[in-house]
Amino acid sequence: MLIFDKSVEGRRAVTLPECDVKEYSFDKKYLRETPAVLPEVAEVDLVRHYIGLSRKCVGVDNVFYPLGSCTMKYNPKLNEVIARNPAFTNLHPLQPESTVQGALEVMYETQKILAEITGMDEISLEPAAGAHGEYTSLQIIRKYHLSRGDGKRNKIIVPDSAHGTNPASAAMCGFEIINVKSDKRGNVDIKALKESVGDDTAALMLTNPNTLGLLDEHILKITSVVHKAGGLVYYDGANLNAVMGVIRPGDLGFDVVHLNLHKTFSTPHGGGGPGSGAIGCKKKLVQFMPDPAVVRVRNRYRFAERENSIGKVKAFYGNFLVVLRAYAYLLTLGKEGIREASENAVLNANYLRVLLEPYFKTAYSRTCMHEFVLSLEKFHDETGVSAMDVAKALIDKGIHPPTMYFPLIVHEALMFEPTETESRETLEACRDVMREIYEEAKSNPDAVKACPASTPISRPDEVLAARKPKVRKQ
Ligand SMILES: *Cc1c(COP(=O)(O)O)cnc(C)c1O
């Protein structure tokens, strides 16, 4: 039911004082011909309507939400309070620098801390999401090679476990994509990598830990193989939640990184933004980074142009309030807290992995980082119940589904990322629910295949629902 359906003519949620100024008569050409159709409801009905809608929403604030590769972590409410402060929200991006010193300081200090965490020399907070950070970085990589008169590096190497945005960003930048396969332990296959690199390699894009939740066991070898061929190495930092404060991409040989501040550093996401895909570069790439830089000159903060910048990639200075939340998060946790968050994320993932092992097998049997991937291929063969069916059954039992059918190299994949804030009790409750589904799949598979029953609609056609949504009243 829409709020319009609850409308009763003349009913009001507010009482305004009598108007004590003369009514102004606008020229007719500025007036609408018929009054706007607006819902007329009392405050109590208004509140019930929207609270009712919010209860249908499934999010990290009401259920366990182990969506892997997305880091749907619980974000402290303190950071929301800070990001709502009118001192920040009322700023105008065209205000003179002298009047926004506080905001510039937030950006400058966030850059400094993120540079330390990633082991990079400079950070730009401009890109609006991870994919945007990839695109921006690839433009930088291209400009770097061209500036050295190295015009034939037109290939980007991407492992088969990569997130889809990696090859998509490379294609958007006009690069050719070369896929390298993973080995039996879920690492980049070194032999395949060696065969792929050459004097046409612009860069390798790598997520580490990768989208299987596994830390590559040959990372130093990988970055050195690419460097020896004259290519650069790009770090997709979407999985930084596993390693922040523990290892630094810059120390592993990466030249450029993107971070998803909305994943790792405390901005609620999942509804499509706003986000921040901050990027970091090693010294040799800094001159090509987006304009403007935020710099400090004798205790004053200001914007500065870079010598050989690729230009601007976003209006003004990125999504500032996402950066502000990240800054608040970084300061609240501090150096030790950041590391501890990662350690707990890894501990929680391994605990849940081991709890589920008697029922569901992991695709790669080794210690995981912050997430792990189950393969239900055999289970599906035996019971007819697919990874999709299990995901749908979880909804009825009050758990948001994990990531399904990703990464593509694992068949019948379910990828769990519990994150650092979940308690032991929540993880054990998840095990109990997964065991119930497992048992039901063995005894009554049709019941599992009929889930979910608790949602307004049960199983829409996933593709049609996304491509041609029918937005209509229920
Ligand atoms: C989420 C994600 C991205 C893309 O980031 P967005 O902020 O969604 O654009 C890229 N790579 C990996 C591994 C991711 O998980």
Nearest CA to ligand 1 atom 14: 238
Q: Are residues 42 and 10 in the same domain?
A: yes
Q: What is the pLDDT of residue 220?
A: 98
71 CA distance to ligand 1 middle (Å): 10
In a domain, 39, yes or no: yes
Omega cis (within 30) before 290: no
26 CA distance to ligand 1 middle (Å): 50
Q: What is the pLDDT of residue 471?
A: 80
Q: Which two tokens stand for residue 49?
A: 């309507």
295 CA distance to ligand 1 middle (Å): 28
* Structure confidence by residue, pLDDT tens digits, 309-340: 999 999 999 999 999 999 999 999 999 999 99
Q: Is the pLDDT of residue 285 over 70?
A: yes
Q: Is the pLDDT of residue 474 over 70?
A: no
CA distances from 186 to 14, 161, 196, 213, 444 (A): 60, 8, 18, 9, 34
In a domain, 68, yes or no: no
342 CA distance to ligand 1 middle (Å): 18
CA distance 301 to 324: 16
Q: Are residues 205 and 282 in the same domain?
A: yes
Burial of 450 (0-12, 13-18, 19+ CB in 10 A): middle
- DSSP, collapsed to helix, strand or coil, labels residue 6 as helix
In a domain, 463, yes or no: yes
**The total number of structural domains that make up the chain:** 3
Domain end residue (candidates: 278, 311, 333): 333
CA distances from 203 to 123, 148, 225, 327 (A): 19, 15, 11, 30
Nearest CA to ligand 1 atom 8: 130
Q: Are residues 358 and 315 in the same domain?
A: no
Burial of 169 (0-12, 13-18, 19+ CB in 10 A): buried
Q: What is the pLDDT of residue 472?
A: 75
The chain-wide mean pLDDT, for the chain, equals 96
Q: What is the pLDDT of residue 434?
A: 98
Angle at 331 between CA 315 and CA 126, to 5 degrees: 15
User: Residues 6 or more apart from 10 whose CB is under 8 A from it?
Assistant: 40
What average pLDDT does the segment 203-210 reach? 97
Please tell me if the CB atom of residue 250 comes closer than 6 angstroms to any atom of ligand 1: no
Q: Are residues 325 and 364 in the same domain?
A: no
Q: Is the pLDDT of residue 97 over 80?
A: yes
Domain end residue (candidates: 312, 333, 354): 333
Q: Is the pLDDT of residue 57 over 90?
A: no
Q: Is the pLDDT of residue 228 over 70?
A: yes
CA distance 105 to 401: 40
For the chain, percent of residues with pLDDT exceeding 90 = 92
Instruction: Print the domain residue range for 364.
Output: 337-467
212 CA distance to ligand 1 middle (Å): 14
Q: Are residues 170 and 275 in the same domain?
A: yes
Q: Are residues 308 and 341 in the same domain?
A: no
In a domain, 55, yes or no: no
Q: Are residues 294 and 213 in the same domain?
A: yes
In a domain, 70, yes or no: no
CATH number, domain of 200, equals 3.40.640.10
Q: Are residues 298 and 412 in the same domain?
A: no
User: Residues 6 or more apart from 94 whose CB is under 8 A from it?
Assistant: none
In a domain, 474, yes or no: no
Q: Is the pLDDT of residue 457 over 60?
A: yes
pLDDT band at 199 (very low <50, low <70, confident <90, very high): very high
Q: CB atoms < 10 A from the CB of 194, how many?
A: 16
* Continuous segment of H or E residues that includes residue 176: strand 176-180
CA distance 430 to 397: 9
Q: Is the pLDDT of residue 273 over 80?
A: no
Domain end residue (candidates: 284, 307, 333): 333
Of ligand 1's listed atoms, the one at least distance from the Cα of 162 is: 13
Nearest CA to ligand 1 atom 11: 163
- DSSP, collapsed to helix, strand or coil, labels residue 178 as strand
Q: Is the pLDDT of residue 271 over 60?
A: yes
Nearest to 252 by CA among 227, 273, 229, 271: 227
Picking from 17-26, 40-49, 165-174, 409-418, which range would have the lowest pLDDT averaged per residue? 17-26
Q: What is the pLDDT of residue 299?
A: 93
* Structure confidence by residue, pLDDT tens digits, 132-164: 999 999 999 999 999 999 999 999 999 999 999
Probe residue for ligand 1, chosen from 169, 215, 260, 279 as the CB with the greatest number of ligand atoms within 8 Å: 260
Q: What is the pLDDT of residue 84?
A: 96
Q: Are residues 315 and 441 in the same domain?
A: no
Please tell me if the CB atom of residue 130 comes closer than 6 angstroms to any atom of ligand 1: yes
In a domain, 63, yes or no: no
CA distances from 111 to 259, 278, 329, 352, 386 (A): 12, 9, 14, 34, 44
CA distances from 113 to 123, 234, 245, 332 (A): 9, 20, 11, 13
Q: Which two tokens stand for residue 474?
A: 């229920």
In a domain, 324, yes or no: yes
Radius of gyration of the chain (CA): 25
CATH number, domain of 433, equals 3.90.1150.10
Q: Are residues 121 and 257 in the same domain?
A: yes
Cα 450–chain centre separation = 31
pLDDT band at 456 (very low <50, low <70, confident <90, very high): confident
What average pLDDT does the segment 446-472 reach? 91
Q: Are residues 16 and 87 in the same domain?
A: no
Q: Are residues 110 and 85 in the same domain?
A: yes
Nearest CA to ligand 1 atom 5: 130
